[in-house]
Amino acid sequence: MTQLGEWLAERLNQIFPPLAIHQSLQVAKSSLEANQRWAAEEAVRIWPAFQPYGDFAGLNVLDIGSGLGVIIPFYVLGAGARRVVSIDLDERSIQIAWTYLSSLKMLTDDARVIRLSVADAAAMPFPDNHFDAIVSINVFEHVARLEAAIGECYRVLKPGGKTLLHLPPYYSPWGPHLENWIHFPWPHLLFSEATLMRVAAKEDARLRLNRQFVDAAQIDWAASGDQIPNVNRVTLRRFRRLLQQAGFSILQLELLPVGYDYLESRGGLKALAFHVLKVVSHVPFMQEVVVTKMVYVLAKAV
C-alpha cells in the first residue's frame, strides 16, 4: 500500500506542473537578495487586506518573525510606525536583518526606531501592556507553541491595541509548505505525511533544489523523517478558538479563497468562480479546504 501511494503521488506530481507563484517562490529561495526582493513585494501585496487598520502612525509596534528584515522598513516608512521591535527565533535571520537594515542606515541614526531581538514568541521578554500594535505575516503557521504565543501577544499588547495576522490554515491547498517539490494541491488530504516526505525527497534528489536554496529554506530530509517539518498544522477553526480563549475580539476577518489573487481580477467565469469560492469560504467544514489565507485584525479590550 505504501508503494502504491508513492506511485500515485509521483504520477500526480508529473501531471501538475509547478504554478507560476511557486516558481517565483523557488527563485526567491535561491539567494538572500532574491528572497528580500520577494518579501518586500509580498508585504506591499498583502497590506491592503489589513485596511483600514494598517496605519501605524506614531505607534510602538512589535513584529513577530523578522525573517531577513525586508518588511520592517515598510512598517516605518510605509505604515508610519514610530518604533518597531522585531523578534525571530533564528539568530542567523536576525544577523542578516541587522546587516540589511544597517545598509539602509535605519539602525545607525536612531537605534530606538528599530530594534532586533532573538526571542521566542511563546515567551517574550517584554512587560505587560507594552506595544500599541502587533503584526505578523506568514509566521504563525510555523510557531510550535502556538497557544502560548497567542497568549503572549495578548499580554504584551496595550488595552485597545490591535494585532494584525496573516497566515494559511493547514488544510489549505499548500498547507504543508512542500510546494517546491509537491506540485499538486491538497496533497496532505490524499496521502500520509510519510508518503509525501518520501516523494518530496525523491523529487529533490532529481531537481537538486535544496542545495540551491538559502539555509533557512532548506529541508533536512533525514532529520525530518516521516513528519512534514516546520508547520504546526493549525486549522482555521482551532486558530479562531485560541484567539478567543486568549481574550482577543475580532475586529476584522478576511478569508481568502484558493486562487483569489488570480480569479478576482479576471472577468467572466473566473470572476464568477471567485464569488462562489468566497461564499463557500464561510461554510463550516468546507472553509477549511477552500480558504488559503486568514487575515485577522484583533483587538485587546480597553
Q: Indicate the domain borders of the chain.
A: 2-30+176-224, 32-171+232-299
pLDDT at 214: 85
Average pLDDT of span 80-85: 93
Average pLDDT of span 82-90: 94
Is residue 62 within 8 Å of residue 156, measured between CB atoms?
A: yes
Mean pLDDT, the chain, rounded, equals 91
Among candidate residues 131, 137, 136, the one with its CA nearest the CA of residue 160: 131
Percentage, residues of the chain above pLDDT 70: 96
Q: How far apart are CA 151 and CA 257, in angstroms?
A: 28
Helix (H) or strand (E) holding 34: helix 32-46
Chosen CATH of 32-171+232-299 out of 3.30.2320.30, 3.40.50.300, 3.10.250.10, 3.40.50.150: 3.40.50.150
Please check the confidence at residue 20 and state whether its pLDDT lies above 70. Answer: yes
Average pLDDT of span 215-234: 92
Which range (5-9, 247-251, 268-272) has the least confidence?
268-272
Average pLDDT of span 218-234: 93
Quick one: cell of 249? Answer: 475580539
State the pLDDT confidence band at 263, using cuts at 50, 70 and 90.
Answer: low
Is residue 170 within 8 Å of residue 148, measured between CB atoms?
A: no
**Of 68 and 137, the one with more pLDDT:** 137
Average pLDDT of span 238-265: 90
State the pLDDT confidence band at 49, using cuts at 50, 70 and 90.
Answer: very high
Q: What is the pTM of this model?
A: 0.93
Average pLDDT of span 103-126: 83
pLDDT at 36: 87
